[in-house]
Amino acid sequence: MPLSKLQGVKLPASADFHVHLRDGDMMDLVTPTIREGGVNTVFVMPNLVPPVTTVDRALDYKKRLQAIEPNVNFLMSLYLHETITPETIIEAKKRGITGVKSYPAGVTTNSSAGVVDYAAFYPVFAEMERQDMILNLHGEVPSQGDVTVLSAEERFLPTLKQLHEKFPKLRIILEHCTTAAAVEAVKECGPTVAGTSKSVPTLNFPLVPRSYLTTLDVVTAHHLSIIIDSWAGDPFCFCKPVAKTPADRDALLRAAASGNPKFFFGSDSAPHPAASKRGGEKIAAGVFTQPYTTQLVVDAFEQACQNGVLKEEDITPKIIEGFMSTFGRAFYGLESEQKEFITLEKKDEKVVNILKSDKVDVVPFRRDQQTWSVTWSA
């Protein structure tokens, strides 16, 4: 076991800044598994059917989630939509909504009501900048002309830069990035906040100044291990953006293990009923990781050490803590002192084959394979 030094290590609870918890039966099934992944804080995506486009609906959704799992802090988002105005943003800020998620129209699950023209939302972005609301970008352009799922993220990066230049104080997150090019783009963006000339401190937490962190990246668990061939042969590895080349995956691993607070964790756990992943009309995009989020990241780091992509001595508890907990919490302005802790252990645990209730089922990523274990510490 290459990462034996992590055996028995106690860490602050993880935070997951990109989750799909759905509604109804699927919500009932997956929400109780958040804490199994060592997570006590989640940023909840708004791509329900219909999408969450009003503050009232976001807060009702939050109540339903809290009723299922009162021991998780649910941070809520709105779905960027033509009905959202600067006034919506002011109301959202007042009533405790955390961010606004932008889906390019048609690129992923439940995105048909998404954005066609970013310029149309400039007044909304300007208000978000004033209100210090976070913009969460699904960073892909639609597949058309010579754009394919393989180039869709890279082709979005000029838009990211444009938005960043036009709204330099707007705090933007490039969600679930999958390419070395995106990692570089994020490193190049900011910090450009007026009056700050210092560089972003690394491993200086818990005092990561929020204002320095202008554009960040959420890195998922599955993109730290899968590549094109994985989803080409297995629908349960298919998600948007699709996993790319080994070099891209390795760039993500290095970013996640770098201690740079611009990169933090968001699983993009996206449950779909098993049947909708197995075919029929169109295979649903989304990889389900919720019950094993922390475990899968440690698995991926371990694998990367075995392959020589990362060095064992670089995967310290502090590095994992920064990526899985501290950097994201600092960016989202949450409490820096964690009161809850988890312990990592390598036992003989295996990912379950399927999760089901009497209404719905979902197949988890890396089903039936060995994984690390997480327990809550006293």
Say if CB 202 and CB 247 are below 8 A apart. Answer: no
Which of 270, 310, 324, 374 is in the footprint of ligand NCD by CB under 6 A? 270
Q: How far is the CB of 288 from ligand NCD (least distance, A)?
A: 9
Q: Where are the beta strands (DSSP E) in 201-325?
A: 215-219, 263-265
Contact positions with ligand NCD (CB under 6 A) in 285-344: 285-286
Contact window for ligand NCD (CB under 6 A) among 102-110, 177-185, 211-219, 347-355:
102-110
Under the binding rule (CB under 6 A), the answer on residue 239 touching ligand NCD is yes
User: Collapsing DSSP states into helix, strand and coil, what is residue 155?
Assistant: helix
Take residue 123 and report the two structure tokens written for it. Answer: 């007044």
Could you tell me how many residues of this chain bind ligand NCD (CB under 6 A)?
12
Under the binding rule (CB under 6 A), the answer on residue 20 touching ligand NCD is yes
Residue number, 137 or 310, with CB nearest to ligand NCD: 137
Contact positions with Zn ion (CB under 5 A) in 257-276: 268
Give the CA diameter of the chain: 57
What is d(CA 170, CA 180) in angstroms, rounded to the nearest whole number? 23
Contact positions with ligand NCD (CB under 6 A) in 137-156: 138
User: Collapsing DSSP states into helix, strand and coil, what is residue 147?
Assistant: coil
Residue 286's binding partner out of ligand NCD, Zn ion, none, with CB under 5 to 8 Å set by partner kind = ligand NCD
What is d(CA 280, CA 138) in angstroms, rounded to the nearest whole number? 26
Under the binding rule (CB under 5 A), the answer on residue 140 touching Zn ion is no
What is d(CA 20, CA 286) in angstroms, rounded to the nearest whole number? 9
User: DSSP characters for 171-220?
Assistant: -EEE-S--SHHHHHHHHHS----TT--SPPPSS-TT---GGG--EEEEE-
User: Collapsing DSSP states into helix, strand and coil, what is residue 104?
Assistant: strand
Which phi and psi (to 5°) does residue 143 adopt?
Answer: -70, 115
Residue 155's binding partner out of ligand NCD, Zn ion, none, with CB under 5 to 8 Å set by partner kind = none
Residue number, 259 or 291, with CB nearest to ligand NCD: 291
Residue number, 277 or 346, with CB nearest to ligand NCD: 277
CA atoms within 13 Å, Cβ hemisphere of 116: 3
Nearest residue to the partner ligand NCD, using Cβ: 286
What is d(CA 372, CA 333) in angstroms, rounded to the nearest whole number? 29
What are the counts of helices (DSSP H) followed by strands (DSSP E) for the chain? Answer: 12, 14
Under the binding rule (CB under 6 A), the answer on residue 268 touching ligand NCD is yes
Under the binding rule (CB under 6 A), the answer on residue 104 touching ligand NCD is no
Contact track, ligand NCD, 37-76, x by CB under 6 A? ----------x-----------------------------
Under the binding rule (CB under 6 A), the answer on residue 88 touching ligand NCD is no
Q: How far is the CB of 104 from Zn ion (least distance, A)?
A: 13
Say if CB 239 and CB 315 are below 8 A apart. Answer: no
Contact positions with ligand NCD (CB under 6 A) in 106-135: 108-110
Footprint on this chain of ligand NCD (rule: CB under 6 A) = 20, 47, 108-110, 138, 239-240, 268, 270, 285-286
Residues that bind Zn ion (CB under 5 A): 268
